[in-house]
Amino acid sequence: MTTIVLIRKNNEVVVAGDGQVSMGNTVIKKTANKVRKIEKRNVIAGFAGSTADALTLFERLESKLEKHAGNLARAAVELAKDWRTDKYLRRLEALMAVGDKENSFIISGTGDVLEPEGDVIGIGSGGNYALASAKVLMDTDLSAEEIAKKAIKVASEICVFTNDNLNIEKI
């Protein structure tokens, strides 16, 4: 369980995530990093779900980006196809929010590659709370990073599986 928010505003893309790892109703760790940057391709991603599964998916996304010359849309579709059809990958339980300078996607294990309407993505147990608060803040003078921080803060005050220990990546 976690909260990830992706904000696209004023030529800036930010992915923020909380740091809580829970097992059942117990907090196991408060400082996990669920947000990563793929430096070579200027792509950022956040994951909600099992940590080992998400790390596997990050590696797969990175290899798809290499194979498709940094084309995030193509890499996302290819990852989703593999995720859904591969006997090993189809058991992975996670959601990913990924973005580059041009695109933002939610990628799921059911084969979905969703491009949201608007410039905000929220995933995870607190994703809807972060999404709602970020959508309201998009019409303000706040930067993408400030909106992401406030959205995670709101989610952390509502969702018991989310804390306010932030990890942020931006491009």
* Residues noted as catalytic: 2
**CB contact at 8 A, 167 and 33:** yes
Grouping H, G, I as helix, E, B as strand and the rest as coil, residue 118 is: coil
CA dist 31 to 2, 17, 49, 83, 165, Å? Answer: 12, 10, 15, 28, 6
**Phi, psi torsion values for 69, nearest 5 degrees:** 50, 40
The DSSP H or E segment spanning 54 is: helix 51-67
Provide the token pair at 152.
């995670």
- Beta bridge partners, 160, equal none
Taking the CB of residue 11, how many other CB atoms lie within 10 A of it?
A: 8
